[in-house]
Amino acid sequence: MNAPTPLGDPQLMLKLARYRMPFGKYRNTRLIDLPEPYVVWFANQGFPKGELGELLGIVHEIKINGLEYLFEPLKK
């Protein structure tokens, strides 16, 4: 199954800009602001099931492609 493409979905982009990590060391950090090594670690270990895992998978793709800057205007 392919993950949704956030760049073509404004609602998904807003969700990614605002969704916060619900647990762990980076609790309450926006997913898009998580350190890249942490997101890569999740990618290697396996993302959580459900919506959080899907969003982290998208964030992983965004980070490895250097597209975080697209989310700056949406975080305000």
Residue 2 has pLDDT above 60, yes or no: no
Q: How far apart are CA 44 and CA 28, in angstroms?
A: 22
61 neighbors 3 (Cβ within 8 angstroms):
yes
The pLDDT tens digits of the residues spanning 32-60 come to: 999 999 999 999 999 999 999 999 999 99
> Domain segments of the chain: what residues?
6-75
The pLDDT tens digits of the residues spanning 22-35 come to: 999 999 999 999 99
